[in-house]
Chain A
Amino acid sequence: MEFLPTLWFILIAVLWIGYLVLDGFDLGVGMLMKGWARNESQRRVLLNSIGPVWDGNEVWLITAAGATFAAFPHWYASMFAGLYLPLTLALLALILRGVSIEYRGKSHSQRARTCWDWCMAGGSFAAAFSIGVMLALTSTGLPLDEHGDRVGGPLAWFNGWAVLGGLAVVGVSLAMGWAFLSLKTLGAPREAGNRHLRRYLPVYLLPAALWAIGVIIRYPKAASFGMIVLAVAGMVISWVASTKRKEGLTFAGMVIFVALGIGAIFTSMYPNVLPSTIDEAFNLTITSASSSDYTLSIMAIVTAIFLPLVLAYSAWSYWTFRRRVGEQHIPESAVVTPV
Chain B
Amino acid sequence: MPVRTIDVRERVMEMNDRLAAEVRRRLRAHGVPALNLMSSPGSGKTLLLERTLAALAGDVRIAVVVGDLQTDNDAARLARHTDDLVQAVVTGGACHLDARQILAALDAIDLARTDLLVIENVGNLVCPASWDLGEDARVVLFATTEGEDKPSKYPKMFRLAHYVVMSKIDLLPYLPFDVERAVALARGVNPALEFFRTSALTGEGMDAWLDFVRGFARRAAAPAGARERVAAGPSPAPEVGISARSATP
A and B are interacting partners: no
A contacts, CB < 8 Å to B: none
B contacts, CB < 8 Å to A: none
